[in-house]
Structure 1
């Protein structure tokens, strides 16, 4: 499966604890990554300063669902289930 162009759910819904250019402390869940362009494309895609967690994400039906909103819902749920800071 390939990413849906313009979805960006994984760039917004999940937290990223490693540094991102322009977000040196990473980003919390639900916050838009500063590297997203207006059309929701990653401006550092394929570049060495892209965080490993981002490069390691692979689109799948289980993670992305069949719509952008479904992807946001799934990823928000996964974030809540796996990130103890969200549960505090």
Structure 2
């Protein structure tokens, strides 16, 4: 996504299992490489993470 990923848009680099196709690729964006798990962001499940991230996206739009 050369112009960045808009809020609420699924990353085109996620596979069917929601894993990053660029995980060990040197072309992986710096922001993605720097992200580390944080319970405040990720919660305890994928569903909880999506709720938290959606709330943050709406709050910062």
Q: TM-score normalised to the size of structure 2?
A: 0.82
| CA root-mean-square deviation | 1.3
Structure 1 residue ranges (4+ consecutive) displaced by more than 3 angstroms after TM superposition: none
Residue 6 of structure 2: which of 13, 24, 28 is its match? 28
Q: Where in structure 2 are there 5+ consecutive unaligned residues?
A: none
Q: Any idea what SS the aligned residue of 1:77 has?
A: helix
Q: Where in structure 1 are there 5+ consecutive unaligned residues?
A: 1-22
Q: TM-score normalised to the size of structure 1?
A: 0.61
- 1:39 partnered with 2:17: yes
Number of residue pairs matched? 61
